[in-house]
Each structure stands twice: as C-alpha cells, then as structure tokens.
Structure 1
Amino acid sequence: MAHQAEKAFIPLDIAVLTVSDTRTSETDTSGDLLAARVQESGHRLADRALVADDVYRLRAQVSQWIADPEVQVIVLTGGTGFSHRDSTPEAIAPLLDKQVEGFGELFRQISWQEIGSSTIQSRALAGLANGTLIFCLPGSTGACRTGWDKVIAEQLDSRHRPCNFVDTLIRARDQRRALP
C-alpha cells in the first residue's frame, strides 16, 4: 500500500474583528488572543479592526473584507449574546451565501465541558460569503481560545484530515483575483 505524501501547510490571510461598545485597542484581550493565534499557527494577519456593536458598521467592515480577494478568513469576536446591543448574528447572517451549521453546534458542545448550560447563550456561527470563511465567536477571551484551539485551527490547516476548508478558500481566492 502506497503512503500518501504529507500535505504542506498553506498559510491563509485572516482578518480579526472585535465587536464591542466598551473595549479599546488597549483592552481588547480577545482580539489580541485571536491575532496571536493566527500568527502562531503560521497564517498571516491580513487586518484587524474594532467596531461598535452596530449592525451597519459591522456589515460595512465585514463586507469590505469579503470583497477583498486578499482576505480569505474573517474571525469576529463579540456581539453574539443576548443583550440588547448584541447584533453580530443579525449583521453577518444576511451576508452569508452558505452557513456552516456544524460550527455553532460543535462550539456549544465543546463549551458545555467548560461552562455548562451557559453555553446556550452563545449564538456562535460561521459561513461562507463570496468565498470568504467567516467565524463569529463570543467576546470572552476563554470562548475565543476554545473556538480557535478546538475547532477553527484544524479547519484552517491544510494538513487536517479527513477535510478542512483550505482548498475551498484557495480556489475562491484565485477566482476572485481573476475577476476584472
């Protein structure tokens, strides 16, 4: 039986967006953690921003990145709860061409081990928009650590088997670059 050669790691261009009415660039521990994880994983931090929890500001920033062929993945932190200002799912869901239903389900299943029934208050979601993969995580640093370390990192690693998102993202980027 022939052994398949191990696939090479392919770095992706990832943007990080913090959604918060109270955090600043100096107090954004969740965004800091995600930016560090992106780079420690061998990917490139394409951009980073912090916006207020406002549907239209969120959509404007995310839409800009979705249209940019150099951004392959967007990871958002914050705005996924149930307070009156939490609006990340409402802002992002209409932009998605396809939802990755399993992401929110898996994130909550893993979170159950860490925070018990409080996990039902997470509206974490993911999907594809114009070939850009988008993950929406809660705003806590612990939730970002869980989401990245236990789900996202593997799905953005071209060596992960039996499947990952990398080939899909590479094809989509190449198609967007070819557009006039």
Structure 2
Amino acid sequence: MVESEVNFHAVTVSSSRDSDSDRSGSLIRELLEADGHKVLSSKVVPDSLGEIEEEIKNAVSSDSRVLVMTGGTGLSSRDQTVDVLQRLEDKELPGFGELFRSLSYDDIGPRAALSRARASLIDDTLVFSLPGSPAAVRLGMEKLILPSIGHAVYEIDKEGTR
C-alpha cells in the first residue's frame, strides 16, 4: 500500500536568507501541503558543516519520513550540503540527481551538469537535496519528489523497519 500523507522536514541552507526571505523553503512547504503532506518543521540554517549535519540528524531521528533540503549544492567552497550528505548516507539514490540534471538541461542548458542535486537514504529517512533557486525547487518537487514519494516510502517500509 502506498502512503498518501507523508511527514516531511524542510531545510534551506543559506547564510544570506532568513525565514522571511526564504522563497525556496516557502515553495517546498506550499507544494507539500497542496499535495496533502504534513511539514513537521521548516528551517533556515547557515552554510556550516556542523549545523547542516545537526539538522539532518534531527530530521532522521524525528517522525519525519522525508527531508527536503534546498541550497548548498553548487560548486563554491561554502556549498557543503552534499558533502555532509555523502558522509551520513547509508545509500545514494543516483537516479534522482541524474534525472534532475536531465530535466534541468531543458531549462538552463549545459549549466545543469554543474548541479550536485542528490537523494540519499539515511536510516529509513529519504533526504533530497535541491539547488537553492525557486525554479529548481519547483522542478525537483513537481517532476520527481511528489510523484514518487508514496512509492519510495512504501519500498522502504516493505522491510518492516518502521
């Protein structure tokens, strides 16, 4: 059976935004709630390895099934979200990043190859990491995350871990 309502956490990684100016995080919440899901927490954290790791661990230890992160997926030295995920993940879901870059190519051309969008499994929590722009968030949410989340949670739960 595929779950209809899934509990989510949303985290924006940015040292230049706060909850009032966080358009991408707001869009994540809006799209999740419109699709019938529950957002348990939504935060903005700075581009800091320790704070990113703490938020990921908080989401994984909560009642959340999915963490959607935005920001920190670029090439600059301050973009650290993916680096933290790589250290913590139990499994990488490479198809997510591959499909995201393919879909992004239609909008932004070869710059799509520079994205480090990623999906991971940590314990039994799915973690999606999207670029920080609202357009990238909309693409990832509408084309990849929302259409597949129920089935993904079902697949994780088949083993009876929850």
Q: So what's the TM-score if we normalise by structure 1?
A: 0.85
Note closer, same or farther for the CA distance 1:8–1:156 as it changes in structure 2 (3 Å cut).
closer
Cα RMSD (Å): 1.5
Letter in 1 for 2:31: R
Note closer, same or farther for the CA distance 1:72–1:8 as it changes in structure 2 (3 Å cut).
closer
Secondary structure of the 2:74 match is coil
Q: Does 1:12 align with 2:16?
A: no
Aligned to 1:35: 29
Alignment of 1:116-127 (within 5 A): 116-127=109-120
Note closer, same or farther for the CA distance 1:91–1:9 as it changes in structure 2 (3 Å cut).
closer
Structure 2 Cα separation of the partners of residues 9 and 86 of structure 1: 33
Q: So what's the TM-score if we normalise by structure 2?
A: 0.94
Aligned to 2:87: 94
Max radius of gyration: which structure? 1
Secondary structure of the 1:175 match is coil
In the TM superposition, what whole-angstrom CA distance separates every residue of 1:21-69 from its partner, at most 9, and x where no partner exists? 101111100000001011001010111111001111100111111112x
Letter in 1 for 2:104: S
Aligned to 2:71: 78
Query: For 2:155, which of 152, 160, 168 is the aligned residue?
Result: 168
Note closer, same or farther for the CA distance 1:13–1:118 as it changes in structure 2 (3 Å cut).
same
Structure 2 Cα separation of the partners of residues 66 and 9 of structure 1: 18
Secondary structure of the 1:76 match is strand
Structure 2 Cα separation of the partners of residues 166 and 72 of structure 1: 7
Number of aligned residue pairs: give it: 162
Q: Percent identity?
A: 35
Aligned to 2:105: 112
Query: For 2:53, which of 37, 50, 59 is the aligned residue?
Result: 59
